[in-house]
Amino acid sequence: MTEPFRAIRVSKTDSGQKAELVQIGLDDLMEGDVTVAVEYSTVNYKDGLALTGKAPVIRTWPLIPGIDFAGRVETSTHEGFKPGDRVVLNGWGVGETHHGGYAEKARVKGDWLVKLPDSISTAHAMAIGTAGYTAMLCVMALEFHGVTPDKGDVLVTGAAGGVGSVAIALLAKLGYRVIASTGRASEADYLKGLGAADIIDRNELSGPARPLGKERWAGAVDAVGSHTLANVLSMTRYGGTVAACGLAQGMDLPGSVAPFILRGVTLAGIDSVMAPKAKRVEAWSRLAKDLDLAALDRMTSRATLGNVPALGEEIIAGRVRGRVVVDVKA
């Protein structure tokens, strides 16, 4: 008989749902060919939606949330992994339809896992998490579409959040001049410390957009959507690219085709959940090379498994800065 272990489980209730710390066993986990001793997880905006029920992220009940985890393989029948391998998981429906990272153990398909580069610890992997991995995919998309540092400024919206914070650090290290958009004026020093050259108030971008605005940036990383994305597109320079990866303001896009047909702007959609394995491996390899771990540490706070339900509320309310590493053993 295996020893029980701790997990955060979300269950339906008469009034909605509840997230609680419980004891479970290996038999409570779902199918998979790799079992991982989870060392760290994190709290992304999507996790906040799942924990609070603010959006229908969870589609299997009851469920262990957590769309990310990092740890070491305990057992494996998958040809690509052996006990002791350090691995990371991002997405693939984990924390939505399959038990996720808010537990001391996880059982998943090996095809969903990526071996961690030697230079990235399991703790740093979760300081990066889906937010940072998504930021890297955004930067890769800008590069693919020809947005180089000499083309002009790059805007990052939702700058004090997880995606925004890592995107700023990555872009700054790669030589881009970064403009950070935030609704939290008090975070200006934090954002400049990550490498932002200028700070603008998100209110400049949050209202209804004109079909075309003044050309202000060569590219952008947008985690906000809705009116903000429409404004960002309208102010993107000729031939520029906007990488869109989030919906903090909304899922709608109340804009115009003008930026696309008059300025040749590209809107690059970024999906981190179902991204193919080769792209994931490339992103993690780039993170190992291009992310300043000291900058990562400056944007990271620590939490325990028991803190997770409250953090879900905090991140939805916009009160979480940067990244949070959850030590599931603490």
Per-residue pLDDT of the chain (330 residues; tens, 9 = 90+): 578 999 999 999 988 899 999 999 999 999 999 999 999 999 999 999 999 999 999 999 999 999 999 999 999 999 999 999 999 999 999 999 999 999 999 999 999 999 999 999 999 999 999 999 999 999 999 999 999 999 999 999 999 999 999 999 999 999 999 999 999 889 999 999 999 999 999 999 999 999 999 999 999 999 999 999 999 999 999 999 999 999 999 999 999 999 999 999 999 999 999 999 999 999 999 999 999 999 999 999 999 999 999 999 999 998 999 999 999 998
Enclosing domain of residue 264: 132-269
Q: Is 18 exposed, middle or buried (0-12, 13-18, 19+ CB in 10 A)?
A: middle
Site of tokens 């990092």: 70
∠330-165-277 over CA atoms, to 5°?
Answer: 75
Distance CA 84, CA 87 (A): 9
Same domain, 203 and 170: yes
Q: Per the structure block, which two tokens stand in for 101?
A: 């990272």
Residue 117: per-residue pLDDT: 96
- Strands 16-24 and 5-13, bridge-based pairing: antiparallel
Residue 98: per-residue pLDDT: 98
Q: Domain of 196: which CATH number?
A: 3.40.50.720
Same domain, 204 and 149: yes
Residues in the chain: 330
Same domain, 100 and 185: no
Same domain, 87 and 34: yes
Same domain, 12 and 102: yes
Same domain, 145 and 254: yes
Distance CA 183, CA 33 (A): 44
Residue 34: per-residue pLDDT: 98
Distance CA 157, CA 134 (A): 14
| Contact criterion met (CB below 8 Å) for 249 and 111 | no
Domains contained in the chain, number:
2
Same domain, 107 and 137: no
3-state SS string for 29-55: CCCCCEEEEEEEEECCHHHHHHHHCCC
**Nearest-CA neighbor of 174 among 323, 329, 21, 289?**
289
Q: Domain of 107: which CATH number?
A: 3.90.180.10
Within 174-249, residue ranges assigned H as helices are: 188-194, 226-234
Distance CA 139, CA 133 (A): 10
Residue 184: per-residue pLDDT: 87
Contacts of 186 by beta carbon, 8 Å cutoff, 6+ apart: none
Q: What is the pTM of this model?
A: 0.94
